[in-house]
Amino acid sequence: MTHGPEREKITCFRKLYHKEFHDTYFSLDIIRVIKARRRGWEGHVARIGENKNAYIILVAVPEGKRPLE
């Protein structure tokens, strides 16, 4: 199964209407793919070690409050 328009079928460029765009790019399949990739990335970061910045950001717990400005 492919996601989005296939390259061979494109003969000209045109605007996608909202329904077409939504059906193409926001189907449950693409959402499932994005979530699976995020889980894979989290697993990768968790295995790289505690002294790497990506790991620290993944497990960090923010302290205090953000400034108003």
The dihedral sign for the CA sequence 59, 60, 66, 69? negative
Angle, vertex CA 10, rays to CA 8 and CA 11, nearest 5 = 110
**Nearest by Cα to 46 from 36, 61, 56, 37:** 56
Give the largest CA-CA distance in the chain.
Answer: 55
Q: pLDDT band for position 54 (50/70/90)?
A: confident
Written as one letter, the residue type at 32 is R
The reported pLDDT for the residue numbered 10 is: 60
Rounded to whole angstroms, the Cα distance separating 20 from 64 reads 44
Q: What is the pTM of this model?
A: 0.42
